[in-house]
Structure 1
Amino acid sequence: MKSTINEQYGINVQEITKMGGFDSFRMHRTQFLIVPIPHLDDEELYEVFYFSQFMIENREPYIASMVLTKQNHLSFEKDSMKYVLLKYSNVSKRKGIQHGRDLAIFHQKARAFPYQVTKTNRIGQWKNLWEKRLDQLESFWHGKVHSQPLNRFEKIFVESFPYYLGLAENAIQYLVDTEIDGEPLPIDSGTICHHRFFYRTWNDELNVKLPTEWVFDHGSRDIAEYMRDLFFEKQSDAHSLSYRFLEEYNRITPLSPFSYRLIYSRLLFPLHYFECIENYYLAAEDMKQSYEKRLLLILERSGQYEKFLKGYTNMLAMNTNRIVLPTVEWLK
């Protein structure tokens, strides 16, 4: 990797260490990250590059910028894997982070992004993406039902899938009703979001925002995924932390009824379950056990997750008197 960096960028790397799961090196007061990007094609990468340039120009703090190769390319290849080189100045640890407030400011700036987005655009595409994902997993499940013998993970998957199929169908219907009935406001225009915005996304040892993790979507994507993550990471405090998070966000950017319904439809969709199943089958053998543990945890907490979904509507009643969400009958 040292010789590849030298060849591609003309940088003489002394030592490569690990930082936040990435290969990293330092020169003077600048930290560099070598980030694999198997999920981004060239056109997506260019859009993400323009996102990062725009946010840096708009003084969003802690953004890592992409370094161009000597041939002015955004990425390089090594051993059949594509990488980008990101750099950022060493920054001190942030104190007093308010995730809701900081995310609202981030979204607010990014809503002004002036260029058309095509490849990384997810606005209005949830229904198609969810249906496709559901169809693929259902087809895979049918195959497992009819194949023998099954290992422990597959038995659990076969038994649990019908419940999550129902939950996913509820989420899709809720989303469709929201898009038919809802009235989007200016706040509902597209913004830069994260593929997955977690509790630790802006809390880890990196203390930097990576544009390689961004997509263009409705801000409710980040809000819902953050709350979903709180449920699994901070379970006993998930409700109060979610309430505070929404309150912080609302102080900067008041959310619309349309936004609240999108958040709820996304929380209804059991992405945590789908990703666990998919990741198990993509994982190397030595990683499979961790996904089996994750699946058992998801199933163990399924009843609590239903309470968390019910609690969301109560949270809104406390947060604002103006907004009443349509209910999901069986969740009453």
Structure 2
Amino acid sequence: MVKEIIKEKFGIHVRDLSHHLSYQSFQTPNSIVLIVPVSQFSQAELMELYYISHYLQEQQEPYVCSFILTKDGTLTFEDNGTSYVLLQADQRHPKRSVSLGAELAQFHQKGRGYPYEVKELTRIGQWKDLWGKRLDQLEQFWIKKTQSEPLQPFEKVFIESFPYYLGLTENAIQYLADTELDDQPQTADSGTICRQRLTWESPLIKVPVEWVFDHAARDLAEYTRSLFQKNQDFQEITLFLQQYEQVIPLSSFSKRLLFSRLLFPLHYFETVENFYLSPESEHTFYEKRLENIVNQAQRYEKFLASFQDMYCTKARGYANIPSVNWLKRSY
């Protein structure tokens, strides 16, 4: 059915459908076209993504997907009640010419130059409120689960572990609040284009629907978190950040935002939330993931302590970066 709709709406004849990244796709002679569901976006959000992607292409940013408009000049089409867009990506995928850290810094530089106001996609200054709302929702859900029987194995682990992660989240929110009160953002702390979630397995292709407008520390923290989860040693994390800072040195405000985001246990929240949103066939995956996160809680504390010691408190010229004292406890 989708082939016929694409033929009608875009005038593109689709021979065979396949998958690329996590999306349904098809090939043209010179490109790969992704069929991306976008029902979760408003039209205003999609228009912002369209203009941002167009701007990045004008800046000759590599690997950026472009929107293909319908014959009527619209962004979306419908199939079985779901809205979709077509995103066109270059079929050639050469290796990076520079390190990921340097490439990300250059991407952020271009993103800061975006000349229009971003209203719908901005997350600048919103972390504290978003984290607080997320914590309140999960705490209310936890209270209900403590009063219900019988419990699944996943729920037992969730009930036992949540008070610890509640405390860690409160630490992150307080650290962020102190940063916003005590430190001053610099020019390089202005908003830029970021991934919703930048991880070590993120592809070269830059897919607009995966973007938000935020502080660069978002990408730095989430990539750093993913390296920890990949069991990479601290040397690789340090190298990534050094490569970034060779292009854009980080202010104390940036470093404090980065650390506050690492303190926030996003990986725990996502695992619990996704368990209850996923079909039963995926529950075993999230059960194992939650057990792994909880079992590695002390290792994550050590990681945070090492990051704080090596990257924040010992950094030259950044004596005003406070430490979280309880992380210094001996193991």
TM-score normalized by the length of structure 1 = 0.95
Matches within 5 A, 1:109-258: 109-202=110-203, 207-233=204-230, 235-237=231-233, 239-258=234-253
**Is 1:328 equivalent to 2:324 in the alignment?**
yes
Offset at residue 3 of structure 1 (A): 1.0
Give the Cα–Cα distance (whole angstroms) in 1 for the partners of residues 146 and 265 of structure 2: 21
Contact 1:134/1:168, CA 8 A, preserved across alignment: yes
- Partner residue in 1 for 2:277: 282
In the TM superposition, what is the alpha-carbon distance from 1:313 to its structure 2 partner?
1.8
Is the CA contact (8 Å cut-off) linking 1:247 and 1:319 kept in structure 2? no
1:310 paired with 2:305, answer yes
Could you tell me whether the CA contact under 8 Å between 2:34 and 2:86 is conserved in 1? yes
In the TM superposition, structure 1's runs of 4+ consecutive aligned residues that sit over 6 Å from their partners are: none
Q: Is the CA contact (8 Å cut-off) linking 2:65 and 2:88 kept in structure 1?
A: yes
Contact 2:199 2:222 in 1 (8 A): yes
CA contact (8 A) 2:38 2:85 kept: yes
Deviation at 1:319, TM superposition (A): 7.5
Unaligned segments of structure 2, at least 5 residues? none
Instruction: Map 1:50-129 to 2 at 5 A.
Output: 50-95=51-96, 97-129=98-130
C-alpha separation in 1, matches of 2:99 and 2:33: 27
Residues in 1 aligned to 2:51 and 2:314: alpha-carbon distance in whole angstroms: 36
Residue 272 of structure 1 aligns with an amino acid whose one-letter code is H
1: CA distance between counterparts of 2:155 and 2:163? 14
Aligned-residue RMSD, C-alpha: 1.3
Q: Is the 8 A contact 1:316 1:323 kept in 2?
A: no
- Amino acid aligned to 1:75: T
CA distance in 1, matches of 2:178, 2:3: 53
Please, which runs of 5 or more residues in structure 1 have no aligned partner? Answer: none
TM-score by length of 2: 0.96
Measure how far apart 1:91 and its partner are.
1.4
Alignment partners' CA distance in 2, 1:246 and 1:6: 46
Offset at residue 150 of structure 1 (A): 0.7
Asked if 2 retains the 8 angstrom alpha-carbon contact of 1:171 and 1:269, the reply is: yes
Give the aligned partner of residue 13 of structure 1: 14
CA distance in 1, matches of 2:314, 2:198: 22
Q: Secondary structure at the match of 2:12?
A: coil
Supply the distance in 2 between the matched residues of 1:186 and 1:154 (Cα, whole angstroms): 45
Amino acid at match of 2:85: V
* Distance across 2 between alignment mates of 1:247 and 1:276: 30
Displacement of 1:253 in angstroms is: 0.4
- The alignment partner of 1:288 has SS state of helix
Distance 1:286 1:38 in 2: 24
- Amino acid across the alignment from 2:297: S
* Offset at residue 320 of structure 1 (A): 3.3
Q: Point out the more displaced range, 22-31 or 130-139.
A: 22-31
Report if the CA contact (8 A) 2:313-2:322 is conserved.
no
Q: Distance in 2 between matches of 1:89 and 1:312?
A: 37
Deviations 1:191-219, CA, capped at 9 Å, x for gaps: 001100111113xxxx4110110000000
